[in-house]
Amino acid sequence: MHKHHSALGLAKAPNGNSDVAAIVEQRPVQPVTLLRPHAAKRAARFFAEKFPGKSLYAVKANPSPDLLKVLWDAGVTHYDVASLGEVRLVAETLPGATLCFMHPVKAEEAIAEAYFTYGVKTFSLDTVEELEKILRATKGATDLNLLVRLRVSSDHSKLSLASKFGAEPHEVKPLLMAARQASDALGLCFHVGSQAMSPAAYGEAMGRVRDAIVEAAVTVDIVDVGGGFPSWYPGMEPPALEAYFDVIYRAFEELPISYSAELWCEPGRALCAEYASVLVRVEKRRGDELYINDGAYGALFDAAHIGWRYPVKLIREEESNAREMPFSFYGPTCDDLDHMAGPFELPADVQAGDYIEVGMLGAYGCAMRTGFNGFGVEDKVIVGDEPMASLYGGFAERERRSNVVKL
């Protein structure tokens, strides 16, 4: 792992004896992942301070051990794990972390190892069959936190998570009653979808939670509003995160639950999107198409397969004065599917040999790299500059002011 002050420093190939200089003097042939631990730390502190409950980092968004340690040091102590692999990873990286197995469909062997080897006590479920599986795997344990997942709408979100998991309204009452009998703490959870663009998503889902509690007439100890908290991307500029927190808190306060009930959330994208970007090189230009050295089988999976638009910036020693125009990208593999339609707005004079920073790839981008077609080798460099966009700017400024020592 190398360190540098900015993406521009890499492209300029500065003189020096450091490992970074040795890489950039050759001008990077492979994509370079630029890591900003300070941005992830800032996001974690924001949630720890402002969300009116407990925040569980959704590990699937970016399982990097380095990132997990940054979040831990910033106050995130609970982790939403969705597989045995993630259970093992977080337990080995952060032995003191509390793990919550929030995938509603799990292998019985995975449940058993999570419980008996790693001390996992929290599990989600959306069917009676999954409840029975959990009880068999844990040998009838009586110290479980069992969270019943409700199916809710994803209408306010850019990516739906409404079709695969979640109990239907007619299934909820018997499931809650059965889970209440089997659990030490009973919870309800949901997921409004990824990149929720309106706080109303959570308000409407909490209405479903209220209906479920009233109909089943059970005591609920945990309400988990899941993930979906957004980040900033071109064409996807969400409201301030505080607006989401306000809606969630007001709805939580109106639920028929005990005063000691806990409120949880599972941010993934919102904690790690600003953590990383990728520096790519243009290998060829064909009209408004740029052939770059990363793509659909690397960090740009979402850009290719679901049309996600990321912020982009031309990195040159001398700033371009050309007007901007829309481009699409082709990745480095021989596959026609390795295509990112964009549009990505860049100066019209971009050409082969130029470098482009693609921002906000800390969420999912870094996690989904493959080695397909022999591509995928990359370098990682820690940089100290700011991410290309941020929802935490005001919070960062306030923290900087609070750290100033006055004599």
35 pairs with which residues across the strands?
276, 382
Residue 321 to residues 280, 316, 350, 377, Cα–Cα distance (Å) = 21, 11, 11, 33
100, 272, 334, 366: the catalytic one is 334
127 alpha-carbon distance from chain centroid: 26
How many residues does this entry show for the chain?
407
d(CA 175, CA 102): 17
| Closest by CA position to 202, among listed 192, 212, 187 | 192
Pairing of strands 276-286, 289-292: antiparallel
Strands (E), 9-153: 32-35, 54-58, 78-81, 98-101, 122-125, 145-149
- The secondary structure of 132-143 as a DSSP string is HHHHHHTTS-SS
The string of DSSP codes covering 269-299 is HHHHGGGEEEEEEEEEEETTEEEES--TTTT
Q: Are strands 122-125 and 145-149 parallel, antiparallel or unpaired?
A: parallel
Rg over CA atoms, the chain: 23
Name the token pair of 347. 């100066």
Phi, psi of 239 (to 5 degrees): -65, 170
Q: Is 89 helix (H, G, I), strand (E, B) or coil?
A: helix
| Closest by Cα among 124, 111, 79, 86 to 266 | 79
Coil/strand/helix, residue 144: coil
SS3 label, residue 233: strand
Is 366 one of the annotated active-site residues of the chain?
A: no
Question: How would you write 312-352 as a 3-class SS string?
Answer: EEEECCCCCCCCEEEEEEECCCCCCCCEEEEEEEEECCCCC
By annotation, the residues acting in catalysis are 334
